[in-house]
Amino acid sequence: MPELPEVETMVRDVTPLLSGRRFESARLSHRDVLDGVTGPALVRGLTGARVVGLARRAKNAVILTDRRRLVIQPGMTGAMFVKRRLTADDARYGVLQVRLDDGRTFVYHDVRRLGTIRWLDPAGWQRFSDRIGPEPLDAAFTPEVLRAALARSRAAVKKVIMDQKHLAGVGNIYANEALFLAGIDPSKEARRVSADQAGLLHRHLVTILADAVRAHGTTIRDYRTGTGEPGNFQGELQVYDREGQPCRRCGAPLAGTHGIDARITVFCYRCQR
């Protein structure tokens, strides 16, 4: 799915087109994406609301209105656009379409509908956000914070850094990449990761996420930016999607496994211990 860099990119792209706009009407095609709100309540709430600002929290896009927050977690295939004219694809996969007061339409597009839409009041938002760990690109995310999270867990280190309650926004791609860069075996028990390794992992998590934001994210299959373009980070990937290909550091063929949380893990036997 869109991970932190991809959601950040989508949010940045639609921000200038949504800020200050009023929602004139809304249409929801499938309610299976909703959490904690009914379709009619969402449509009623959105209609007439004005966008006050946009933000990202973990892998969620947050559209703050003068009523509540529209919180969209794009799942595997979610994407958001603001368009003057909708295409046939938008009509088919545009789960939520919101007409703006300038004639454009905000579309939340989601082929597989594994994404989630929430409509949260301040208390609901607080509860939601409190369940998520620190933002890796914030100053509050220090090597000590990562070390403490790892020390508490006997699960595989990869699973821990992908767990949103420990760390916000890291998904399968960037977890694989950061572990490779830090030279850590993804299946290593988290609490057995040394302080030095945790420090390295912290540094690589931060730099890879920042670099990927700069590159507008990684497009392997579905992901598109808020302007419909693919991202540019896929060319920078060291291990993800490169199973069987030579390690860029030592040349050994990269290994692939589904052993951790049934998610594809790619790593180098030689470089990651």
Tokens standing for residue 166: 């420990």
Which is nearer to DNA, 112 or 273 (by Cβ)? 112
Pairing of strands 23-28, 94-100: antiparallel
CB of 183 to DNA, least distance (A): 20
| Minimum CB distance to DNA smaller for 60 or for 105 | 60
* CA atoms of 112 and 7, how far apart (whole Å): 17
263 binds DNA (CB under 7 A): yes
User: Which range binds DNA by CB under 7 A, 15-23, 97-105, 134-142, 154-162?
Assistant: 154-162
Catalytic residue selected from 21, 59, 69, 147: 59
- Please state whether 234 falls in left (phi above 0), alpha (psi between -120 and 50) or beta: alpha
- The span from the CA of 129 to the CA of 124, in Å, is 9
Residue 59 annotated among the catalytic residues of the structure: yes
| Among 27, 249, 263, 270, the one annotated catalytic | 263
Tell me which of 17, 51, 62, 156 binds DNA, using CB under 7 A: 156
Minimum distance of DNA from residue 179's CB (angstroms): 14
- Residue 161, C-beta contacts closer than 8 angstroms, at least 6 positions apart: 146, 167, 170, 175, 178, 179, 201, 205
Number of residues forming the site for DNA (CB under 7 A):
40
What are the Cα distances from residue 16, in Å, to 13, 50, 51, 54, 82? 7, 14, 11, 9, 10
- Torsion-angle region of residue 161: left (phi > 0), alpha (psi -120 to 50) or beta? alpha
Q: Which two tokens stand for residue 38?
A: 């009914």
Instruction: State yes or no: residue 2 binds DNA (CB under 7 A).
Output: yes
153 binds DNA, rule: CB under 7 A: yes
Is 263 considered catalytic here?
yes
Decide if residue 162 touches DNA (CB under 7 A): yes
Contacts of 99 (CB under 8 A, 6+ apart): 23, 24, 25, 26, 105
Quick check: 130 binds DNA (CB under 7 A)? Answer: no
CA atoms of 76 and 222, how far apart (whole Å): 8
**Contact in structure between 69 and 62 (CB atoms under 8 Å):** yes
Per CB under 7 A, which region of 64-72, 141-149, 156-164, 198-206 contacts DNA?
156-164
Q: Which is nearer to DNA, 100 or 173 (CB)?
A: 173
In the window 16-55, what residues touch DNA (CB under 7 A)?
A: 32
- Residue of 229, 251, 256, 230 lying closest to 241 (CA atoms): 256
Q: Which of 3, 8, 177, 185 binds DNA (CB under 7 A)?
A: 3
Task: Kindly tell me which of 21 and 97 has the beta carbon lying closer to DNA.
Answer: 97
Grouping H, G, I as helix, E, B as strand and the rest as coil, residue 219 is coil
Contact between 264 and DNA by CB under 7 A: the answer reads yes
Residues catalogued as catalytic: 2-3, 59, 263
Q: What residues line the site for DNA (CB under 7 A)? A: 1-3, 6, 32, 58-59, 73, 75-76, 92, 111-114, 152-156, 159, 162, 164, 171-173, 190, 217-223, 258-260, 262-264
